[in-house]
Structure 1
Amino acid sequence: MRLLPLSVSALLCLLAAPAVAQTEPPLDHARTLRESEMVFIPYMGMNRGPVFYTQYVQVATDSTATVGGMRRLFVNLHPTAHTQDLYNGFITRHGITDARLLPLPSSGSCQPTQGILDLLSGMPASYKPKIVGGNYPLVCGLSIHFMPTDEALVRAHIAANPVITLRATVPLCTPTSALLSVPAINQALVTAGALQTTPGGGVSGNSWDVLFESSKLAQNNPSLFVTQDPQVGWEAYIRSFVLDLAAQTATMAPATATNPATICTPSPLVIHFG
Protein backbone atom coordinates (compact mmCIF):
# COMPACT_ATOMS: atom_id res chain seq x y z
CA MET A 1 0.00 0.00 0.00
CA ARG A 2 1.45 3.37 -0.93
CA LEU A 3 0.44 6.97 -1.36
CA LEU A 4 -0.09 8.40 -4.79
CA PRO A 5 3.23 9.73 -6.10
CA LEU A 6 2.91 13.19 -4.61
CA SER A 7 5.66 15.74 -4.83
CA VAL A 8 7.32 16.32 -1.48
CA SER A 9 6.16 19.94 -1.44
CA ALA A 10 2.53 18.99 -2.14
CA LEU A 11 2.49 16.42 0.65
CA LEU A 12 4.11 18.83 3.11
CA CYS A 13 1.54 21.51 2.24
CA LEU A 14 -1.30 19.08 2.86
CA LEU A 15 0.05 17.86 6.17
CA ALA A 16 1.09 21.32 7.37
CA ALA A 17 -2.32 22.87 6.77
CA PRO A 18 -3.79 24.48 9.91
CA ALA A 19 -5.89 22.03 11.91
CA VAL A 20 -9.13 24.00 11.99
CA ALA A 21 -12.44 22.20 12.25
CA GLN A 22 -15.05 23.46 9.80
CA THR A 23 -18.28 24.32 11.57
CA GLU A 24 -20.11 25.55 8.48
CA PRO A 25 -20.79 23.49 5.34
CA PRO A 26 -18.45 24.17 2.40
CA LEU A 27 -19.26 27.06 0.10
CA ASP A 28 -21.41 26.17 -2.91
CA HIS A 29 -19.55 28.07 -5.61
CA ALA A 30 -21.91 26.74 -8.28
CA ARG A 31 -24.62 29.01 -6.84
CA THR A 32 -22.48 32.16 -6.69
CA LEU A 33 -24.64 35.24 -7.21
CA ARG A 34 -23.16 38.55 -8.39
CA GLU A 35 -25.28 41.67 -8.42
CA SER A 36 -24.83 45.41 -7.80
CA GLU A 37 -21.29 45.26 -6.41
CA MET A 38 -22.18 42.28 -4.20
CA VAL A 39 -21.02 38.67 -4.44
CA PHE A 40 -22.96 36.04 -2.48
CA ILE A 41 -21.71 32.47 -2.06
CA PRO A 42 -24.11 30.20 -0.14
CA TYR A 43 -23.10 27.25 1.96
CA MET A 44 -23.92 23.83 0.57
CA GLY A 45 -27.59 23.01 1.03
CA MET A 46 -28.40 26.42 2.49
CA ASN A 47 -29.30 29.95 1.41
CA ARG A 48 -26.99 31.29 4.10
CA GLY A 49 -23.48 32.41 3.30
CA PRO A 50 -21.10 35.37 3.09
CA VAL A 51 -21.80 38.48 1.05
CA PHE A 52 -18.65 40.18 -0.20
CA TYR A 53 -18.49 43.67 -1.66
CA THR A 54 -16.48 44.92 -4.61
CA GLN A 55 -16.86 48.68 -4.04
CA TYR A 56 -16.33 50.79 -0.93
CA VAL A 57 -16.61 54.46 -0.01
CA GLN A 58 -14.99 56.28 2.91
CA VAL A 59 -17.30 58.06 5.35
CA ALA A 60 -16.06 60.39 8.10
CA THR A 61 -17.75 60.59 11.49
CA ASP A 62 -18.31 63.70 13.59
CA SER A 63 -15.28 64.73 15.60
CA THR A 64 -15.08 64.52 19.37
CA ALA A 65 -12.79 66.14 21.93
CA THR A 66 -9.93 64.04 23.25
CA VAL A 67 -6.80 64.49 25.38
CA GLY A 68 -4.56 67.53 25.23
CA GLY A 69 -7.13 69.69 23.48
CA MET A 70 -7.01 67.52 20.35
CA ARG A 71 -10.01 66.28 18.43
CA ARG A 72 -10.61 62.89 16.87
CA LEU A 73 -12.72 61.45 14.10
CA PHE A 74 -12.98 58.12 12.34
CA VAL A 75 -13.08 57.42 8.64
CA ASN A 76 -14.81 54.11 7.92
CA LEU A 77 -14.94 52.10 4.71
CA HIS A 78 -18.59 51.37 3.91
CA PRO A 79 -19.72 49.09 1.07
CA THR A 80 -21.41 51.26 -1.54
CA ALA A 81 -24.16 48.63 -1.68
CA HIS A 82 -25.13 49.82 1.81
CA THR A 83 -24.68 53.55 1.29
CA GLN A 84 -26.76 53.33 -1.91
CA ASP A 85 -29.49 51.20 -0.26
CA LEU A 86 -28.95 48.23 -2.56
CA TYR A 87 -28.21 45.62 0.11
CA ASN A 88 -31.64 45.13 1.70
CA GLY A 89 -33.36 44.66 -1.64
CA PHE A 90 -30.71 42.15 -2.73
CA ILE A 91 -31.09 40.12 0.47
CA THR A 92 -34.89 40.15 0.34
CA ARG A 93 -35.17 39.43 -3.37
CA HIS A 94 -33.02 36.32 -3.19
CA GLY A 95 -34.01 35.09 0.28
CA ILE A 96 -30.43 35.36 1.55
CA THR A 97 -29.27 34.96 5.13
CA ASP A 98 -26.01 36.90 5.34
CA ALA A 99 -23.21 35.18 7.30
CA ARG A 100 -21.74 38.66 7.88
CA LEU A 101 -18.08 37.85 7.24
CA LEU A 102 -15.34 40.40 6.62
CA PRO A 103 -12.61 39.77 4.00
CA LEU A 104 -10.00 40.96 6.53
CA PRO A 105 -7.63 40.41 8.22
CA SER A 106 -6.71 36.96 6.91
CA SER A 107 -6.83 37.80 3.23
CA GLY A 108 -5.69 41.40 3.02
CA SER A 109 -5.01 44.63 4.81
CA CYS A 110 -6.06 48.23 5.36
CA GLN A 111 -3.42 50.94 5.69
CA PRO A 112 -3.47 54.74 6.08
CA THR A 113 -2.45 56.52 2.88
CA GLN A 114 0.81 58.38 2.70
CA GLY A 115 -1.15 61.56 2.04
CA ILE A 116 -2.93 61.56 5.41
CA LEU A 117 0.27 60.53 7.18
CA ASP A 118 2.12 63.45 5.59
CA LEU A 119 -0.71 65.88 6.40
CA LEU A 120 -0.54 64.95 10.09
CA SER A 121 3.18 64.25 10.32
CA GLY A 122 3.51 66.73 13.18
CA MET A 123 1.23 64.79 15.51
CA PRO A 124 2.82 62.88 18.42
CA ALA A 125 3.60 59.24 17.62
CA SER A 126 0.74 57.92 19.76
CA TYR A 127 -1.77 60.11 17.90
CA LYS A 128 -0.81 59.56 14.30
CA PRO A 129 -3.50 58.05 12.02
CA LYS A 130 -4.08 54.41 12.91
CA ILE A 131 -6.17 51.65 11.35
CA VAL A 132 -8.96 50.22 13.50
CA GLY A 133 -10.71 46.90 12.98
CA GLY A 134 -13.91 46.55 11.04
CA ASN A 135 -17.41 45.82 12.24
CA TYR A 136 -19.50 44.24 9.49
CA PRO A 137 -20.29 45.62 7.00
CA LEU A 138 -17.57 48.24 7.67
CA VAL A 139 -14.38 46.57 6.49
CA CYS A 140 -12.03 48.79 8.52
CA GLY A 141 -11.59 52.35 9.72
CA LEU A 142 -8.97 55.00 10.40
CA SER A 143 -8.63 56.87 13.67
CA ILE A 144 -7.46 60.45 13.05
CA HIS A 145 -6.37 62.92 15.75
CA PHE A 146 -5.77 66.59 14.95
CA MET A 147 -5.74 70.02 16.55
CA PRO A 148 -9.07 71.91 16.44
CA THR A 149 -7.60 74.56 14.15
CA ASP A 150 -6.80 71.85 11.57
CA GLU A 151 -10.24 70.25 11.38
CA ALA A 152 -11.32 72.05 8.21
CA LEU A 153 -8.03 71.13 6.54
CA VAL A 154 -8.36 67.48 7.57
CA ARG A 155 -11.97 67.25 6.39
CA ALA A 156 -11.11 68.87 3.07
CA HIS A 157 -8.36 66.30 2.56
CA ILE A 158 -10.73 63.44 3.40
CA ALA A 159 -13.34 64.80 0.99
CA ALA A 160 -10.83 65.05 -1.85
CA ASN A 161 -8.59 62.02 -1.28
CA PRO A 162 -8.64 58.42 -0.09
CA VAL A 163 -7.15 58.19 3.40
CA ILE A 164 -7.27 54.37 3.57
CA THR A 165 -5.91 51.80 1.16
CA LEU A 166 -7.69 48.45 1.12
CA ARG A 167 -6.11 45.43 -0.53
CA ALA A 168 -7.95 42.15 -0.08
CA THR A 169 -8.21 38.93 -2.03
CA VAL A 170 -11.04 36.52 -1.27
CA PRO A 171 -10.10 33.00 -2.47
CA LEU A 172 -13.21 32.01 -4.44
CA CYS A 173 -13.69 29.33 -7.09
CA THR A 174 -15.38 29.41 -10.48
CA PRO A 175 -19.03 28.29 -10.42
CA THR A 176 -18.11 25.46 -12.81
CA SER A 177 -15.50 23.94 -10.47
CA ALA A 178 -15.88 20.18 -10.13
CA LEU A 179 -17.54 18.71 -7.04
CA LEU A 180 -16.05 15.81 -5.11
CA SER A 181 -18.52 13.41 -3.46
CA VAL A 182 -17.00 13.39 0.02
CA PRO A 183 -19.82 11.25 1.52
CA ALA A 184 -19.24 8.50 -1.09
CA ILE A 185 -15.49 8.41 -0.42
CA ASN A 186 -16.10 8.41 3.32
CA GLN A 187 -18.45 5.45 2.98
CA ALA A 188 -15.84 3.52 1.00
CA LEU A 189 -13.26 4.17 3.72
CA VAL A 190 -15.72 3.21 6.45
CA THR A 191 -16.24 -0.09 4.61
CA ALA A 192 -12.46 -0.51 4.39
CA GLY A 193 -12.14 0.08 8.14
CA ALA A 194 -10.06 3.27 7.87
CA LEU A 195 -12.86 5.54 9.09
CA GLN A 196 -15.56 5.36 11.72
CA THR A 197 -18.65 7.52 11.89
CA THR A 198 -18.99 9.98 14.76
CA PRO A 199 -22.12 11.42 16.40
CA GLY A 200 -23.78 13.99 14.19
CA GLY A 201 -22.51 12.58 10.91
CA GLY A 202 -18.78 13.23 11.03
CA VAL A 203 -16.01 10.67 10.53
CA SER A 204 -12.68 9.97 12.19
CA GLY A 205 -9.83 7.51 11.97
CA ASN A 206 -6.11 6.96 12.25
CA SER A 207 -4.39 9.63 10.15
CA TRP A 208 -1.98 7.23 8.48
CA ASP A 209 -4.73 4.70 7.73
CA VAL A 210 -6.79 7.46 6.15
CA LEU A 211 -3.87 8.68 4.04
CA PHE A 212 -2.93 5.23 2.79
CA GLU A 213 -6.43 3.82 2.29
CA SER A 214 -7.69 6.95 0.52
CA SER A 215 -4.60 6.90 -1.70
CA LYS A 216 -5.25 3.28 -2.59
CA LEU A 217 -8.90 4.08 -3.28
CA ALA A 218 -7.87 6.90 -5.63
CA GLN A 219 -5.65 4.47 -7.52
CA ASN A 220 -8.21 1.66 -7.70
CA ASN A 221 -11.36 3.74 -8.17
CA PRO A 222 -10.24 7.06 -9.71
CA SER A 223 -13.76 7.97 -10.87
CA LEU A 224 -14.66 8.68 -7.24
CA PHE A 225 -12.11 11.49 -7.29
CA VAL A 226 -13.72 13.22 -10.29
CA THR A 227 -10.72 14.87 -11.94
CA GLN A 228 -8.68 13.48 -14.82
CA ASP A 229 -5.76 13.26 -12.43
CA PRO A 230 -7.10 11.51 -9.29
CA GLN A 231 -4.29 13.03 -7.23
CA VAL A 232 -6.02 16.42 -7.53
CA GLY A 233 -9.25 14.99 -6.16
CA TRP A 234 -7.35 13.07 -3.49
CA GLU A 235 -5.66 16.24 -2.28
CA ALA A 236 -9.03 18.02 -2.10
CA TYR A 237 -10.40 15.12 -0.09
CA ILE A 238 -7.50 15.06 2.37
CA ARG A 239 -7.85 18.81 2.91
CA SER A 240 -11.35 18.10 4.23
CA PHE A 241 -9.80 16.51 7.34
CA VAL A 242 -8.25 17.97 10.44
CA LEU A 243 -5.05 15.92 10.60
CA ASP A 244 -2.97 15.53 13.75
CA LEU A 245 -0.02 13.36 12.82
CA ALA A 246 1.45 13.48 16.32
CA ALA A 247 -1.75 12.05 17.78
CA GLN A 248 -2.30 9.99 14.59
CA THR A 249 -5.87 11.24 14.20
CA ALA A 250 -7.91 12.38 11.23
CA THR A 251 -11.29 13.96 11.88
CA MET A 252 -13.88 15.44 9.57
CA ALA A 253 -16.68 17.60 10.94
CA PRO A 254 -20.29 16.69 10.11
CA ALA A 255 -20.72 19.87 8.05
CA THR A 256 -17.87 18.72 5.83
CA ALA A 257 -18.55 14.99 5.83
CA THR A 258 -22.13 15.33 4.62
CA ASN A 259 -21.49 17.70 1.71
CA PRO A 260 -19.53 17.69 -1.55
CA ALA A 261 -16.16 19.43 -1.66
CA THR A 262 -15.20 21.83 -4.42
CA ILE A 263 -12.16 20.97 -6.50
CA CYS A 264 -11.41 24.61 -6.93
CA THR A 265 -10.62 26.33 -10.18
CA PRO A 266 -9.48 29.60 -8.59
CA SER A 267 -11.40 32.77 -9.34
CA PRO A 268 -10.26 35.14 -6.58
CA LEU A 269 -12.27 38.22 -5.76
CA VAL A 270 -9.81 41.12 -5.63
CA ILE A 271 -10.97 44.15 -3.62
CA HIS A 272 -9.11 47.46 -3.86
CA PHE A 273 -9.77 50.90 -2.45
CA GLY A 274 -7.49 53.91 -2.42
Structure 2
Amino acid sequence: MPVAVAYAVAGFSLALLVLASLKAEQAWASVRQGRQGPGGKRRIRKVPAAMGGPEQIGDSARLRFRVLLLDHDDTTVKGTEEVHYPAHVDSLRILRPDLVPVSLEEWFRRNHDPGVSAYLKLLFTSEQMVQEHEIWEKAMEQKMPAFYEGIAELLKEYRARGGRVAVVSHSPAHVIQRHYDAHPWAEYIRPDLVLGWDQDPAKRKPSPWPALHALQHFGVQPAEVLALDDLSPGVKMAKAAGITVVAAGWGHNVQPIQDYMRRECEQYFETVQDFADYLLTSRASAL
Protein backbone atom coordinates (compact mmCIF):
# COMPACT_ATOMS: atom_id res chain seq x y z
CA MET A 1 0.00 0.00 0.00
CA PRO A 2 1.48 3.42 -0.94
CA VAL A 3 2.58 5.48 2.05
CA ALA A 4 0.18 8.33 1.23
CA VAL A 5 -2.79 5.97 1.15
CA ALA A 6 -1.73 4.37 4.45
CA TYR A 7 -1.55 7.79 6.11
CA ALA A 8 -4.97 8.67 4.74
CA VAL A 9 -6.53 5.45 6.09
CA ALA A 10 -4.91 5.96 9.49
CA GLY A 11 -6.12 9.54 9.62
CA PHE A 12 -9.67 8.51 8.73
CA SER A 13 -9.67 5.80 11.43
CA LEU A 14 -8.42 8.27 14.00
CA ALA A 15 -11.20 10.70 13.08
CA LEU A 16 -13.79 7.97 13.58
CA LEU A 17 -12.39 7.18 17.01
CA VAL A 18 -12.47 10.84 18.04
CA LEU A 19 -16.06 11.18 16.78
CA ALA A 20 -17.16 8.07 18.73
CA SER A 21 -15.47 9.39 21.85
CA LEU A 22 -17.21 12.74 21.52
CA LYS A 23 -20.61 11.08 21.11
CA ALA A 24 -20.05 8.91 24.17
CA GLU A 25 -19.03 11.94 26.21
CA GLN A 26 -22.13 13.83 25.05
CA ALA A 27 -24.34 10.90 26.03
CA TRP A 28 -22.90 10.65 29.52
CA ALA A 29 -23.01 14.45 29.89
CA SER A 30 -26.72 14.23 29.13
CA VAL A 31 -27.16 11.64 31.88
CA ARG A 32 -25.22 13.79 34.34
CA GLN A 33 -27.18 16.88 33.36
CA GLY A 34 -30.41 14.97 33.97
CA ARG A 35 -29.61 14.97 37.68
CA GLN A 36 -30.30 18.69 37.85
CA GLY A 37 -33.47 20.53 37.02
CA PRO A 38 -34.04 24.17 36.09
CA GLY A 39 -32.02 26.50 38.29
CA GLY A 40 -29.68 23.71 39.36
CA LYS A 41 -32.25 21.89 41.48
CA ARG A 42 -31.36 18.30 42.34
CA ARG A 43 -33.12 15.59 40.40
CA ILE A 44 -33.49 11.86 40.88
CA ARG A 45 -30.19 10.05 40.47
CA LYS A 46 -30.19 8.01 37.30
CA VAL A 47 -29.49 4.30 37.50
CA PRO A 48 -27.87 4.01 34.03
CA ALA A 49 -30.03 2.32 31.43
CA ALA A 50 -29.04 1.13 27.98
CA MET A 51 -27.61 4.00 25.96
CA GLY A 52 -28.90 4.76 22.56
CA GLY A 53 -32.03 6.90 21.96
CA PRO A 54 -35.50 6.71 23.41
CA GLU A 55 -36.53 4.07 20.88
CA GLN A 56 -34.04 1.65 22.51
CA ILE A 57 -35.23 2.37 26.07
CA GLY A 58 -38.25 0.71 27.62
CA ASP A 59 -37.40 -2.97 27.92
CA SER A 60 -39.41 -3.68 31.07
CA ALA A 61 -37.60 -7.01 31.42
CA ARG A 62 -34.70 -4.97 32.83
CA LEU A 63 -36.88 -3.65 35.66
CA ARG A 64 -37.28 -5.36 39.00
CA PHE A 65 -41.05 -4.65 38.78
CA ARG A 66 -42.88 -4.16 35.48
CA VAL A 67 -45.91 -2.45 37.04
CA LEU A 68 -46.18 0.07 39.87
CA LEU A 69 -49.42 0.39 41.84
CA LEU A 70 -49.11 3.96 43.03
CA ASP A 71 -51.08 5.70 45.74
CA HIS A 72 -51.89 9.36 45.05
CA ASP A 73 -52.50 11.50 48.13
CA ASP A 74 -49.52 11.84 50.49
CA THR A 75 -47.47 9.54 48.28
CA THR A 76 -47.44 11.38 44.96
CA VAL A 77 -49.07 14.74 45.81
CA LYS A 78 -49.59 16.68 49.05
CA GLY A 79 -53.30 15.93 48.96
CA THR A 80 -54.21 15.69 52.62
CA GLU A 81 -52.23 18.71 53.78
CA GLU A 82 -53.34 21.01 50.95
CA VAL A 83 -56.83 19.76 50.03
CA HIS A 84 -58.54 17.05 52.07
CA TYR A 85 -57.84 18.20 55.62
CA PRO A 86 -58.85 21.83 54.92
CA ALA A 87 -62.04 20.49 53.29
CA HIS A 88 -62.76 18.45 56.41
CA VAL A 89 -62.31 21.52 58.61
CA ASP A 90 -64.76 23.41 56.37
CA SER A 91 -67.25 20.55 56.59
CA LEU A 92 -67.25 20.64 60.37
CA ARG A 93 -67.51 24.42 60.44
CA ILE A 94 -70.59 24.30 58.19
CA LEU A 95 -72.30 21.07 59.27
CA ARG A 96 -71.10 20.45 62.83
CA PRO A 97 -70.03 23.78 64.37
CA ASP A 98 -70.42 22.13 67.78
CA LEU A 99 -67.33 19.99 67.09
CA VAL A 100 -63.66 20.98 67.15
CA PRO A 101 -61.69 19.55 64.20
CA VAL A 102 -58.93 17.11 65.02
CA SER A 103 -55.37 18.17 64.23
CA LEU A 104 -53.74 17.36 60.90
CA GLU A 105 -51.71 14.61 62.60
CA GLU A 106 -54.84 13.12 64.14
CA TRP A 107 -56.61 13.33 60.77
CA PHE A 108 -53.86 11.16 59.31
CA ARG A 109 -54.41 8.69 62.16
CA ARG A 110 -58.15 8.49 61.44
CA ASN A 111 -57.50 7.92 57.73
CA HIS A 112 -55.21 5.07 58.71
CA ASP A 113 -57.60 3.56 61.25
CA PRO A 114 -60.57 3.14 61.09
CA GLY A 115 -60.41 4.69 57.60
CA VAL A 116 -61.86 7.93 56.30
CA SER A 117 -65.36 6.63 55.49
CA ALA A 118 -65.82 4.91 58.84
CA TYR A 119 -64.59 7.99 60.70
CA LEU A 120 -66.84 10.43 58.83
CA LYS A 121 -69.89 8.28 59.53
CA LEU A 122 -69.21 8.79 63.22
CA LEU A 123 -69.50 12.55 62.75
CA PHE A 124 -72.25 13.08 60.18
CA THR A 125 -75.78 11.85 59.53
CA SER A 126 -76.63 10.29 56.15
CA GLU A 127 -77.99 13.64 54.94
CA GLN A 128 -74.91 15.48 56.18
CA MET A 129 -72.65 12.96 54.46
CA VAL A 130 -74.12 14.05 51.13
CA GLN A 131 -73.29 17.67 51.94
CA GLU A 132 -69.86 16.71 53.23
CA HIS A 133 -69.15 14.99 49.93
CA GLU A 134 -70.17 18.11 48.02
CA ILE A 135 -67.85 20.28 50.10
CA TRP A 136 -65.03 17.80 49.51
CA GLU A 137 -65.62 17.74 45.74
CA LYS A 138 -65.67 21.54 45.58
CA ALA A 139 -62.33 21.71 47.40
CA MET A 140 -60.79 19.21 44.99
CA GLU A 141 -62.00 21.22 42.00
CA GLN A 142 -60.59 24.48 43.36
CA LYS A 143 -57.19 23.35 44.63
CA MET A 144 -54.23 21.72 42.88
CA PRO A 145 -51.87 19.95 45.32
CA ALA A 146 -48.15 19.99 44.64
CA PHE A 147 -46.23 16.88 43.60
CA TYR A 148 -43.57 15.78 46.05
CA GLU A 149 -40.08 16.74 44.93
CA GLY A 150 -38.53 13.98 42.84
CA ILE A 151 -41.75 12.08 42.09
CA ALA A 152 -42.16 13.39 38.55
CA GLU A 153 -38.51 12.60 37.72
CA LEU A 154 -38.94 9.09 39.12
CA LEU A 155 -42.10 8.40 37.11
CA LYS A 156 -40.57 9.80 33.92
CA GLU A 157 -37.53 7.55 34.23
CA TYR A 158 -39.54 4.46 35.21
CA ARG A 159 -41.96 4.83 32.30
CA ALA A 160 -39.12 5.55 29.86
CA ARG A 161 -37.67 2.16 30.77
CA GLY A 162 -40.94 0.40 29.98
CA GLY A 163 -42.55 0.43 33.41
CA ARG A 164 -46.31 0.85 33.64
CA VAL A 165 -48.16 2.78 36.32
CA ALA A 166 -51.61 2.26 37.81
CA VAL A 167 -52.80 4.83 40.32
CA VAL A 168 -55.00 3.37 43.06
CA SER A 169 -56.49 6.03 45.28
CA HIS A 170 -59.46 7.18 47.33
CA SER A 171 -59.53 10.41 45.31
CA PRO A 172 -61.85 10.48 42.27
CA ALA A 173 -60.25 9.33 39.03
CA HIS A 174 -61.03 12.55 37.14
CA VAL A 175 -59.36 14.61 39.88
CA ILE A 176 -56.22 12.47 39.76
CA GLN A 177 -56.08 12.77 35.98
CA ARG A 178 -56.42 16.55 36.25
CA HIS A 179 -53.44 16.70 38.61
CA TYR A 180 -51.27 14.83 36.12
CA ASP A 181 -52.57 16.77 33.13
CA ALA A 182 -51.57 20.03 34.83
CA HIS A 183 -47.97 18.93 35.33
CA PRO A 184 -45.39 20.26 32.83
CA TRP A 185 -44.24 16.68 32.18
CA ALA A 186 -47.75 15.29 31.77
CA GLU A 187 -46.97 13.41 28.56
CA TYR A 188 -44.10 11.58 30.25
CA ILE A 189 -45.60 10.78 33.67
CA ARG A 190 -49.32 10.33 32.98
CA PRO A 191 -50.42 6.95 34.46
CA ASP A 192 -51.56 4.10 32.24
CA LEU A 193 -54.50 3.27 34.50
CA VAL A 194 -56.36 5.26 37.17
CA LEU A 195 -58.59 3.55 39.73
CA GLY A 196 -60.08 6.19 41.99
CA TRP A 197 -62.89 6.46 44.52
CA ASP A 198 -65.76 4.11 43.72
CA GLN A 199 -69.19 4.18 45.32
CA ASP A 200 -68.96 0.41 45.61
CA PRO A 201 -66.74 -0.36 48.65
CA ALA A 202 -65.82 -3.69 47.07
CA LYS A 203 -63.98 -1.80 44.32
CA ARG A 204 -61.79 0.48 46.43
CA LYS A 205 -58.99 -0.03 48.93
CA PRO A 206 -58.60 -2.05 51.15
CA SER A 207 -60.49 -4.45 48.87
CA PRO A 208 -58.10 -6.36 46.58
CA TRP A 209 -60.28 -5.57 43.55
CA PRO A 210 -58.21 -2.59 42.26
CA ALA A 211 -54.99 -4.62 42.43
CA LEU A 212 -56.55 -7.68 40.80
CA HIS A 213 -58.04 -5.48 38.08
CA ALA A 214 -54.61 -3.98 37.39
CA LEU A 215 -53.05 -7.45 37.11
CA GLN A 216 -55.63 -8.39 34.51
CA HIS A 217 -55.36 -5.05 32.71
CA PHE A 218 -51.59 -5.32 32.24
CA GLY A 219 -51.47 -9.10 31.87
CA VAL A 220 -48.86 -9.57 34.60
CA GLN A 221 -48.32 -11.80 37.61
CA PRO A 222 -48.30 -10.53 41.22
CA ALA A 223 -44.53 -11.06 41.45
CA GLU A 224 -44.04 -8.51 38.65
CA VAL A 225 -45.91 -5.76 40.49
CA LEU A 226 -44.97 -3.40 43.32
CA ALA A 227 -47.42 -1.34 45.39
CA LEU A 228 -46.41 1.93 47.05
CA ASP A 229 -48.68 3.47 49.70
CA ASP A 230 -48.57 5.52 52.89
CA LEU A 231 -51.53 4.00 54.78
CA SER A 232 -53.00 0.65 55.78
CA PRO A 233 -55.78 0.38 53.12
CA GLY A 234 -53.18 0.12 50.36
CA VAL A 235 -51.15 -2.38 52.35
CA LYS A 236 -54.16 -4.61 52.95
CA MET A 237 -55.18 -4.42 49.29
CA ALA A 238 -51.74 -5.40 48.02
CA LYS A 239 -51.27 -8.27 50.46
CA ALA A 240 -54.70 -9.70 49.65
CA ALA A 241 -53.68 -9.77 45.98
CA GLY A 242 -50.26 -11.33 46.68
CA ILE A 243 -48.37 -8.18 45.65
CA THR A 244 -45.23 -6.82 47.30
CA VAL A 245 -45.97 -3.55 49.08
CA VAL A 246 -43.54 -0.88 50.29
CA ALA A 247 -44.16 2.25 52.34
CA ALA A 248 -43.92 5.91 51.36
CA GLY A 249 -42.74 7.65 54.52
CA TRP A 250 -42.14 11.15 53.17
CA GLY A 251 -45.70 12.49 53.38
CA HIS A 252 -46.15 12.50 57.16
CA ASN A 253 -44.49 11.32 60.33
CA VAL A 254 -47.21 9.91 62.60
CA GLN A 255 -45.69 7.31 64.90
CA PRO A 256 -48.51 4.70 64.99
CA ILE A 257 -48.74 4.80 61.19
CA GLN A 258 -44.98 4.56 60.80
CA ASP A 259 -44.82 1.61 63.20
CA TYR A 260 -47.54 -0.20 61.26
CA MET A 261 -45.98 0.45 57.86
CA ARG A 262 -42.52 -0.63 58.99
CA ARG A 263 -43.99 -3.82 60.39
CA GLU A 264 -46.28 -4.74 57.50
CA CYS A 265 -44.34 -3.56 54.43
CA GLU A 266 -41.39 -5.11 52.65
CA GLN A 267 -39.47 -1.82 52.87
CA TYR A 268 -40.02 1.59 54.44
CA PHE A 269 -38.68 4.57 52.48
CA GLU A 270 -38.22 7.92 54.19
CA THR A 271 -37.37 9.79 50.96
CA VAL A 272 -38.41 9.69 47.32
CA GLN A 273 -34.75 9.25 46.36
CA ASP A 274 -34.43 6.08 48.45
CA PHE A 275 -37.50 4.64 46.76
CA ALA A 276 -36.19 5.63 43.32
CA ASP A 277 -32.93 3.80 43.95
CA TYR A 278 -34.92 0.69 44.88
CA LEU A 279 -37.45 0.83 42.03
CA LEU A 280 -34.96 1.61 39.27
CA THR A 281 -32.49 -1.11 40.20
CA SER A 282 -32.43 -3.64 37.39
CA ARG A 283 -33.78 -7.13 37.93
CA ALA A 284 -30.33 -8.64 37.38
CA SER A 285 -28.71 -6.30 39.93
CA ALA A 286 -31.36 -7.13 42.50
CA LEU A 287 -30.68 -10.86 42.34
TM-score range, shorter chain: under 0.3
More strand by share: 1
Higher helix share: 2
Q: Give the TM-score normalised by the residue count of structure 1.
A: 0.24
Normalising by structure 2, we get a TM-score of: 0.23
